[in-house]
Each structure stands twice: as structure tokens, then as C-alpha cells.
Amino acid sequence: MILAWKQSYYIARKDLKAYYLKPPLISWGLMLPVVFLLAFYLRNPAGITEVAPGLAALTILFSTTSMTAIVITFEKRI
């Protein structure tokens, strides 16, 4: 059981280095939702709860689309 956890940890660490810490994913997947949240908050601080579901959907959309492009590019290289 410990061996399986160790293997899972090393695979996750490799994937983080190879895929998730690349600039496109950081900019589109992490920074863009924060910028959207800040923009909506500055416009109407009281209505931020109304746009939260849409912001969550945008975060998922941009994260998955940028991740797909990165994975396809790196997997073709191998």
C-alpha cells in the first residue's frame, strides 16, 4: 500500500512539472479568473455572489482548454 502511494506521489509530481506549471496554464487557468473576479468586484462589490457561478465556469473552461493544448503538444513530442 505504501508503494502505491509513493508511486502516485511521483507521478503527480512529474505531471505538475510537465504540464501544470507551464506559462499558458498559469496565465489562462489561474490568473484570468482572478482578473475577471477583480473586474466584476470593482464594478459592483455587492453583486459578486451573482457572478460567482459564471466565474467558476469560465475558470473550468479556460483551464481545460489550455491544459488540452499543453498535453497534446507535449505528448506528441514523446
Cell for 64? 481545460
Task: In whole angstroms, give the CA distance from residue 13 to residue 74.
Answer: 16
Output the CA–CA distances (angstroms, integers) from residue 5 to 1, 2, 20, 54, 69, in the order listed: 7, 5, 20, 36, 29
Show the cell assigned to 22.
507551464
Give the per-residue pLDDT at 5.
Answer: 93
Per-residue pLDDT of the chain (78 residues; tens, 9 = 90+): 888 999 999 988 887 777 777 777 777 767 877 888 888 888 888 878 888 888 888 778 777 766 665 555 566 665
